[in-house]
Amino acid sequence: MDQDSINALRDQPVPVFHHLIEGRHVPASDGGLMDVLSPRNGQVLTQIADGTAADMNAAIASARAAFEDGRWAGQAPAARKKVLMKWADLIDAHALELAVLGVRDNGTEISMARKAEPGSAAATIRYYAEALDKIYGEIATTSSDILGLIHKEPVGVVGAIIPWNFPMMIGAWKLGPALAMGNSVVLKPSETASLSLMRMADLALEAGLPPGVLNAVTGAGAVVGEALGLSMDVDVLVFTGSGATGRRLMEYAAKSNMKRVYLELGGKSPNIIFADAPDLDEAAKVAAAGIFRNAGQVCVAGSRLLVEAPIHDEFVAAVARATKAMQVGDPLDLATNIGAVNSEPQLQQNLDFLRKAEQEGGEIVRGGARILQETGGYFMDPAIVTGVAPDATLAQKEVFGPVLAVTPFDDEDAAVRMANATVYGLAGAVWTSNLSRAHRMVRAVRTGVMHVNTYGGADGTVPLGGVGQSGNGADKSLHAIEKYINLKTAWIKL
């Protein structure tokens, strides 16, 4: 990937994106369209179909018919594997196109997006393609005249609602295991970042996925997302996004067919720095990247920095220096380290959090302003806020922006109490040279992922899931497959 190749794609016209239903591009039933604003410049990039409940129901019906007639679920594992492997190859072949399209749509810096979006998506699809013919049933230990068999069957129709921050990566976390196990999927991308995921769905058809096995409907969550959640014909619903939306989806499930709902929700992840960290300068650089890359729009972002009191001032200064070295700018520039905030409302929400933090006694020691307004885009100078009390809004609520809350602690017990003093439990980290302390902290901090002397970067071989109000179920790894299968017992008298 080089700058000239990126520049050749940065201003190409983007066609209108319609729904994908039964292998065809279909406009909204009422002809409605929704403008797509690029966070790079605030300009209309293209339009997407503004879907209706009828559109979503048509997509669900297509997925149900595809599952029932066995056009995908009935194929041999080797045949499904071949299609998914070809899909991964096509994603790789179109990687730069997909990455640039996604950056124009959601603002992630291209230096991150190329690897995190098409690169990660292709690797994920390939991982589950490799795994699918190695998932076996079981034989139970029973009496001599009984044969107990445990079959693993696809659940049927999966509804997948995908967020805007990493649509291809997170989309693949759902699509890979769901399709590998033989399910049909109805995809609902975010209305503020649909384009790369919709293009990725087209590539699945090109790879040989039968029509109807993967359908995708764009539009407002309150319309098409609600229809997906309330459908009596969706068997499993998977979602990554806000807690408020997650609650609504659980309500929809209760009001309809009590479908299984798996949620990856918010986080307020603690990054805990002890004075005996092996390399404080490295820890500071990683802490800055862990909250400010992708403008803080990362579910596992280390948004709470807990620092042992004796090194607090020194370490905050080091993080500020590391942050200053990170360039905010055009996300299609390879020199950019921090891209655009996804939308104007998201940017204003970030700034509101900072005003609230100051009212509650916090001090903004760097950043915190809107910048590069001359571009028309949505850019923010990364903010570091010190003096954040453990019960302050900034320590309790997910900002989902480039805002770091800093709180000192006195000892290990205090660090654990502060780390666990939120409703969330998605990720966290501890920096220490004390091996025993590292293991104690991994056990004590209630979270789905705990890093030691690093932050981020866990690959697809390990699960990502939350505890508390960060959700349930796990994406990634072989454990994710469990969401997309039913267990059936066969009890056979011999």
Catalytic residues: 264
Place of tokens 């006694």: 361
Three-point CA angle 335, 337, 339, nearest 5° = 105
**What are the Cα distances from residue 398, in Å, to 155, 241, 271, 429?**
33, 11, 15, 17
Q: Give the count of alpha carbons within 13 A of 479, CB side only.
A: 12
- Do residues 428 and 450 touch, judged by C-beta distance below 8 A? yes
* Dist. CA 177–CA 302, nearest whole Å: 28
Name the CA dihedral angle for 247, 249, 251, 255, rounded to a multiple of 10 degrees: 180
DSSP 85: H
Distance of alpha carbon 422 from the chain centroid: 21
* 381 phi and psi angles, rounded to 5 deg: -75, 120
Find the Cα–Cα–Cα–Cα dihedral 16, 220, 393, 455, rounded to 10°: -50
Q: Residue 489 class from Cβ within 10 Å (0-12 exposed, 13-18 middle, 19+ buried)?
A: exposed
Q: Which helix (H) or strand (E) holds 157?
A: strand 157-161
Q: Could you tell me which residues come within 8 angstroms of residue 166 by beta carbon, excluding any fewer than 6 positions away?
A: 108, 116, 117, 120, 294, 298
Quote the CA–CA distance of 330 and 77 in Å, as a whole number.
44
- Nearest C-alpha neighbor of 351 from the set 428, 306, 295: 295
**Torsion angles phi and psi, residue 331, rounded to 5:** -65, -10
Tokens of 356: 């609230």
Calpha distance 419→430 (Å, rounded): 10
Residue 450: which region, alpha, beta or left (left: phi > 0; alpha: psi -120 to 50)? beta
Residue 136 is encoded by which pair of tokens?
């076996």
Q: Give the type of residue at 448.
A: G
Report how far residue 391's alpha carbon sits from residue 206's, in angstroms, rounded to the nearest whole number: 52
